[in-house]
Amino acid sequence: MNRIELLFVLILSCFAVSQVIGDDDDSCRPSWVRSLRVTDEAILTWTEAPDEECDVAYYLVQVTYRGEQSTYTTEEMQLNVSFVPPCESVTFTVIPISTNDVQGGTSTHGLRMPIPPDANLTIQYIRVSSQDGHVTLNWDLDEEWRICTSRFRVIIYEEESDTPADIYVSDTTLIIPFLVPCSGYILGVTAVHSLTQQGPVSTVRYTVPAHRLISPTVQGITLGKTYVYMEWHIDSYVHNRCAVSSLVVTSTPSFSLAFPITNNYERPTISTNITNLQPEIMYFLNVTVVNTAGPSVPTLISVQTLGDE
């Protein structure tokens, strides 16, 4: 091979190598971006793949919320998305585009827009009502910021206890079945945006209305010819703190007796000794316990006095 032929072969080889390199550059496909997030200032940011080898010219950003999609371009690894309403749930899709207009991998994330510093999450108009022993708590929140609230935290402080109870709900109404009649409570409500963000606690003081005790239960009966001795148990102070006054025994044949009760925390067993009865007579007793709400539902029992052996 002479020098001219050798030179020609070298030129062809160089051209072929450059063509291969050019083809590689033209087909370089960027990798998908990482770490999509929205800052508190409503800036969508992301990071480049750690092994990215392509030159990225710009990024396509698709923003989808409320069923509508918009597309934006940016040369930076961020985009101001403050046009999206606060606390809105948004789907962001970011696609890198190389300098040779090759579309890279797609990265899609569902994110929630941040809550602005001036958001008013103060609970308004707390209302408390009671019916059939159940307390209902209602409250309002500025409708503009309702979307920013994922749930509500209800804090229940009993005035005679140091340990509050927390209940989380998604609605603005809560029925509380376990509050004790005639007890005082502080009821607090706060709007929760996230684990670290919540509004101020709004409180209201409330005393549960009086409620009748449940029916008394008999613990023991001793029968004689002219007397009936009974021991009765009434509902504990833990379940009902309304003041008790008496245990009333009404009978057929007819008589009615009231046995005074000393109101205290212990609610001890109540002893009743009914005398001056007739021998061998069946008595049908109606027994109630009376507190500030009135008489309880009666307990009905029948007893028969003894006769001669």
Which tokens go with 227? 């007397």
Written as one letter, the residue type at 266 is E
Strand extents, DSSP E, 134-291: 134-141, 151-158, 165-169, 173-176, 184-192, 202-207, 217-223, 228-233, 244-252, 255-260, 270-274, 282-291
pLDDT in tens, 61-86: 999 999 999 999 999 999 999 999 99
DSSP, res 154: E
Give the per-residue pLDDT at 33. 95
Region 156-176: what's the mean pLDDT? 91
pLDDT in tens, 234-257: 999 999 999 999 999 999 888 999
What pLDDT band is residue 15 in, cutting at 50, 70 and 90?
very low
**How far from the centroid of its chain's Cα atoms is residue 165's Cα?**
12
Give the per-residue pLDDT at 35. 94
Distance CA 103, CA 28 (A): 9
Distance CA 63, CA 108 (A): 10
151: left (phi over 0), alpha (psi -120 to 50) or beta: beta
Q: How would you class 131 by CB atoms within 10 Å of its CB: exposed for 0-12, middle for 13-18, buried for 19 or more?
A: exposed
pLDDT in tens, 180-203: 999 999 999 999 987 778 899 999
Please give the domain boundaries of the chain with CATH numbers for all domains: 31-112 (2.60.40.10), 123-207 (2.60.40.10), 217-304 (2.60.40.10)
DSSP per residue over 8-24, as a string?
HHHHHHHHHHHHHHHHH
Q: How many CB atoms lie within 10 A of CB 209?
A: 15
Whether 21 shows a pLDDT value over 60: the answer reads no
Residues 216, 222, 223, 224: what is their CA dihedral angle, to the nearest 10 degrees? -130
